[in-house]
Amino acid sequence: MDFLDLIRAAFLGVLQGLTEFLPVSSTGHLLIFGRMIGYDDPGGVFTVMIQLGSILAVMWLYRQRIIDVIAGLPTKPEARRFALMLFLAFLPAAFIGLLANSYIRDELYLRLDIIAIALILGGFAMLAIEKWPPKIEVKDAAETPIWRAVGVGAFQTLALIPGVSRSGATIFGGLALGLDRRAAAEFSFFLAMPTMVAAFTYDLVRMIRTMSDPALAENAVRFTPDFAVEIAVGFVFAFISAALVVKPFLDFVTRVGFGPFAWYRIVFGVFILGILALGWL
């Protein structure tokens, strides 16, 4: 086992955990920095699978809410409504993702210029909605009307383009549909749970199918015992770093807003375009 690969996996795990719930595109960061440090991630499997560490972190932080919803499903209308809200919001990205998965993995994941442009455009979109905010109609993510939740889910489909940012798209969608900053961020966290668990499950099934079908050997994912250890290391570091960042992020955006993240996206996107133009990446 290459110790350097474990260091790279740990670094990418920390990066994933820090950026998953910030509106700056965790996938874009992993693909770009993975390329910079020479980490091989065929098909983006490592990228998607360590994202589960981040999702489990937010599930742990919101475990009481989750337990209350599950326990209340048989008897509490508000619990059933919350579950239905998330399910309906999850469907648009799930449907489009299934249709376009191969194109996204085989084409878009390789286009760092697209990632950079998406970062820049998303940054300007966030600046615009901070400057001209819609009227606030919802202050509690759990009380988001169903039609607004589905609208946020539609915005999430934009995040299938690497660089857009899943949290960025859903937070922007929440703000555009009348959620306040904290409610938009929390709704993004809740919607991340079914979305990323589904993405993880899809990749796991795909890997198992690849390993068990000789006809797919030529395009097989590099799933060796060493690769499994790298995923485990990235997973653990993603869990820890995400658990540390969620609450401070909520407090920060409630007080300050999303402007700093928007400017970061723009600067980082321009930087990536610059090094691409110079042939350094």
Which of 44-48, 147-151, 201-205, 247-251 has the highest average model confidence (pLDDT)? 147-151
pLDDT 10s digits, 19-28: 988 999 988 8
- Exposed, middle or buried by CB within 10 Å (0-12, 13-18, 19+), for 81? middle
Distance CA 179, CA 181 (A): 7
Q: What is the spatial distance between Cα 81 and Cα 182, in angstroms, rounded to a whole number?
A: 20
Confidence of residue 45 (pLDDT cuts 50, 70, 90): confident
| 156: pLDDT strictly greater than 60 | yes
Distance CA 202, CA 115 (A): 23
Q: What letter represents residue 232's amino acid?
A: A
Average pLDDT, rounded, for the chain:
89
Mean pLDDT over residues 138-146, rounded?
94
Cα-based distances in Å from 141 to 91, 191, 259, 266: 18, 10, 21, 28
Q: Which of 80-94, 125-139, 210-224 is least confident?
A: 210-224
Distances in whole angstroms, Cα of residue 52 to Cα of each of 39, 101, 140, 204, 242: 19, 18, 25, 11, 11
pLDDT value of residue 64: 93
Residue with tokens 């919607």: 191
- Tell me which residue has tokens 């579950």: 83
Joined together, the tokens standing for residue 127 give 């600046």
Distance CA 219, CA 106 (A): 11
The CA–CA distances, whole Å, from 272 to 22, 114, 159, 268 equal 19, 10, 19, 6
Q: What is the mean pLDDT of residues 191-196?
A: 92
Of 87, 71, 90, 91, nearest in space to 79 by CA: 71
> Who contacts 213 (Cβ-Cβ below 8 Å, separation ≥6)?
none
With H, G, I as helix, E, B as strand and everything else as coil, classify residue 179: strand
- Nearest Cα neighbor of 101 from 56, 162, 58, 32 is 162
- Using DSSP, state whether 1 is helix, strand or coil: coil
DSSP classification of residue 2 = -
The pTM assigned to this predicted structure is: 0.89
Q: Domain coordinates of the chain in residue numbers?
A: 3-277
Q: Are the C-beta atoms of residues 45 and 223 closer than 8 Å to each other?
A: yes
Cβ-proximal residues to 112 (8 Å cutoff; 6+ apart), any chain = 31, 32, 35, 272, 276, 281
DSSP result, 27-87: HHHHHHHHHHHT---GGGHHHHHHHHHHHHHHHHHTHHHHHHHHHHTTT-HHHHHHHHHHH
